[in-house]
Amino acid sequence: MQTTYLLNGQPLVSSQSGANHFGDGLFETIAIRQGRPCLWQYHLDRLHQGCLRLGFPVIEVAQLTAEVQQLCHSRPRAVLKIILSTGDTQRGYQRAAGIAPNRFVQCHPWPDSPLYQTPSPSVSLQLCQTRLGCQPLLAGIKHLNRLEQILARKEIQPPAVEGVMLNQQGQVVEGTMSNVLLWRAGTYLTPPIVDCGIAGVVRQFVLDQAVQQNQTVHQEVVSLAMLRQADALFILNSLLGVRQVVAVGEHVYPSVAMPTFLQRIHQACFIPN
Q: Judged by CB under 8 A, does residue 117 bind its own copies?
A: no
CA atoms lying within 13 Å on the CB side of residue 20? 15
The 205-244 contact track toward its own copies, x by CB under 8 A, reads ----------------------------------------
Stretch of 4-12, 185-193, 199-207, 248-256 contacting its own copies, by CB under 8 A: 4-12
Give the C-alpha separation, 140 to 75, whole Å: 30
Stretch of 63-71, 114-122, 185-193, 212-220 contacting its own copies, by CB under 8 A: 63-71
Give the Å distances, CA to CA, from 169 to 19, 70, 224.
34, 46, 11
| Of the candidate residues 52, 61, 96, 150, the single one contacting its own copies (CB under 8 A) | 150
| Of the candidate residues 48, 49, 104, 127, the single one contacting its own copies (CB under 8 A) | 104
| Of the candidate residues 49, 65, 105, 124, the single one contacting its own copies (CB under 8 A) | 105
Stretch of 65-73, 183-191, 217-225, 255-263 contacting its own copies, by CB under 8 A: 65-73
Nearer to its own copies, 147 or 256 (CB): 147
Q: Which of residues 171-200 bind its own copies (CB under 8 A)?
A: 176-177, 196
DSSP secondary structure letter of residue 228 = H
Q: Judged by CB under 8 A, does residue 43 bind its own copies?
A: no
Cis status, amide bond into 57, omega within 30 of 0:
no
Shortest distance in whole angstroms from residue 6 CB to its own copies: 4
Name the phi and psi angles at 186, rounded to 5. Answer: 85, 0
| Of the candidate residues 51, 71, 247, 268, the single one contacting its own copies (CB under 8 A) | 71
Residues 180, 182, 184, CA angle at the centre, nearest 5°?
Answer: 175
Q: Is 104 exposed, middle or buried (0-12, 13-18, 19+ CB in 10 A)?
A: middle
Shortest distance in whole angstroms from residue 146 CB to its own copies: 4
Give the three-state DSSP class for 83: strand
Give the C-alpha separation, 113 to 148, whole Å: 24
Give the C-alpha separation, 145 to 168, whole Å: 18
Strands 179-184 and 172-175: unpaired
Give the Å distances, CA to CA, from 58 to 25, 50, 94, 206.
13, 10, 20, 26
Q: Judged by CB under 8 A, does residue 109 bind its own copies?
A: yes
Q: Judged by CB under 8 A, does residue 95 bind its own copies?
A: yes
- With the CA atoms of 88, 89, 94 and 95 taken in that order, what torsion angle do they form, in degrees rounded to the nearest 10? -80
| Of the candidate residues 34, 41, 102, 229, the single one contacting its own copies (CB under 8 A) | 102
Shortest distance in whole angstroms from residue 80 CB to its own copies: 10
Q: Judged by CB under 8 A, does residue 131 bind its own copies?
A: yes
Stretch of 39-47, 130-138, 181-189, 210-218 contacting its own copies, by CB under 8 A: 130-138
Q: Judged by CB under 8 A, does residue 78 bind its own copies?
A: yes
